[in-house]
Amino acid sequence: MKQDVLVCTPIRPEKLAILEETYNVFPLYKLTDDAEREALIDKAGESCVAMVSNGHFPADENFLKRLPKLQIAACSSVGYETLDVDAMTRRGIRFTHTPDVLTDDVADIAILLMLAVRRNLVAGDAYVRSGDWGRKGMLPLTRTTSGRKVGIVGLGRIGAAIAKRCEALGMEIGYYGRKAKPGVAYQYFGDVAEMAGWADVLIAAASGGPETAHLVSAEALAALGPEGSFINISRGSVVDEAALLDALESGRLGSAGLDVFLNEPNPDPRFGKLPNVVLYPHHASGTIETRDKMSQLVVDNLAAHFAGEPLLTPVN
């Protein structure tokens, strides 16, 4: 007998096909009409024992109460601050996410954004396309990256992968965390603003949620200064976004490369008017290879649960 699974957000088509073959899928992600979505959730509450989502789907305690038979929620992302895992744990609902498989691609985008803002890549591309190179001569000089100091906010899997890439660029590395990591040779800072004052580049790689809200504060951005660059591949909430915009507009902060924003997918329109930023649509893990692996983890975690085997990537 097939189990009933509520699919709130889609996964890769070939992996979704596996879910549809293996389970009775309730495709919430296909519906845009609010009344139809509400009706499907009510129907799912009668029988669905599993749920598939990503880290942007708002599964709060009230939503979970509508799924009284839920046994497992499989999330196809690393971050999951929009899902109430504490409520799941209280109810005995298992929760999984997809760490590790996206580490390299996200770290690559951090480096891409850093180099793009330091070397003014986007403006340079436009300069060639417009013909200004021929009309006006060489592009103004940019800022070097090799040999500079980079401060990484959060030295987890992704932060460590970023640090490894920065080492290859000849950068001096510092990091912030709740405590120093044993066996790590990089310089440790217990305060983000202090590290920002030391660094030329500040990269946010911390997880989202209330505990890290505004971890990169107005004070930290001011300490980074008019020659500094801020890179964010974590969550929009990790930085004080209003302070970030003010600092970029005023020139108190030199530049920023941003993959994440507070209001996604409609970030503050002030960002679009800034010449000193490179913007990316929360797509750091957006490669075919990585999204395939993330989707496969969702499929494998559900299979393990229903087979009574240990989950591959449990959170609770």
What is the spatial distance between Cα 153 and Cα 217, in angstroms, rounded to a whole number?
12
DSSP 106-140: HHHHHHHHHHHHHTTHHHHHHHHHHTHHHHH-SPP
Catalytic residue among 148, 235, 291, 305: 235
Catalytic residue among 264, 283, 289, 309: 264
Q: Provide Rg for the chain, Cα atoms.
A: 22
Interaxial angle between packed helices 288-306 and 103-118, expressed in degrees from 0 to 180 and rounded to the nearest 10: 150
Q: Find how far residue 269's CA is from the centre of its chain.
A: 20
**What type of residue is 74?**
A
Residue 75 Rama label (left phi>0; alpha psi -120 to 50; beta): beta
What is the spatial distance between Cα 196 and Cα 173, in angstroms, rounded to a whole number?
12
What is the spatial distance between Cα 271 and Cα 267, in angstroms, rounded to a whole number?
8
Distances (CA, A) of 118 to 71, 162, 249, 271: 48, 16, 17, 17
Task: Tokens for 283, please give them.
Answer: 């797509």
**Strands (E) located in the chain:** 4-7, 24-27, 50-53, 72-75, 94-96, 149-153, 172-176, 187-189, 201-204, 229-232, 255-258, 277-279
Catalytic residue among 66, 91, 165, 282: 282
Active site residue 264: yes
Task: Tokens for 264, please give them.
Answer: 């996604």
Q: Find how far residue 2's CA is from the centre of its chain.
A: 34
The catalytic residues are 235, 264, 282
